[in-house]
Amino acid sequence: MNLSTPRLGTWLSSGSPVIAELAALCGFDWVLIDLEHGNGTEADLPHQLRALRGCGTRAIVRVSGHGPDAIARVLDWGAHGIMVPHVHSAAEAEQIVRAAHYPPRGTRGFSRSVRAFEYGLQAPPEHGTRPLLIAQIETGESVTASADIAKVDGIDVLFIGPADLQLDLNTHPAKAPASFEDCLQQVATAARAGGKAAGILLRDLSQLQRHIDLGFHCIAVDSDLSLLRKGFQQIRKSLPCITP
């Protein structure tokens, strides 16, 4: 994924390969398959990845934590990259990079027979693969550390989780480094200074250009469940009351 220009993605929380395939057919640059809060399980993930096979849409998987086993497993199954929630420091970012890379850069175990190498039919690259790695900035502590996180070699995107960040700032106002809007600018500036992209999830498409202007270049707009919910609600509101 070339992140030098704004890239548009969307959030997939349903666990459905049909919806993953539809999102790709609609031309999204990338999709986020959510294993942290989504309804799908690890067992569902390979089916969603297969639905994206052969298209230009990148599959990014949000793992549920920092565990190296989950990171390696998702990449072995063929995800183009991973998103890791609640990255609070450069040290945590470095651990994520090491979990995602083969030696000598990292500690990821190697197998030729995984799906990422066509079950052994494809020769692994000489120097291994370089997955796209996205660190989520979701607390005031993370915002404060964002400049250091952006300096970690191997981290590609600093991605703000707006709901968690706003919750943290509101819950711990005394520790908040700045207002939410100022935090957005601080993270975008830190990412740019570190040669990385800044990303965010938006619920309102009308906010897209404003965030691009702020310096965000990896943007997800809405989610499959939210779009379905709003569509169902709109249908129900537009119909006359039906009574027996």
Catalytic annotation, residues? 37
**What is the C-alpha separation between 134 and 187, in angstroms, rounded?**
13
User: What is the chain's alpha carbon radius of gyration, rounded to the nearest angstrom?
Assistant: 19
Which residues have CB under 8 Å from 65's CB, separation 6+? 36, 84, 85
DSSP state of 61: E
Which residues have CB under 8 Å from 233's CB, separation 6+? none
Query: Are residues 174 and 124 in contact, defined by beta-carbon separation less than 8 angstroms?
Result: no
Tokens standing for 48?
A: 């969603």
Kind of pairing, strands 197-202 and 81-84?
unpaired
**What is the C-alpha separation between 182 and 192, in angstroms, rounded?**
15
Which among 134, 146, 221 has a CA at the least distance from the CA of 183? 146
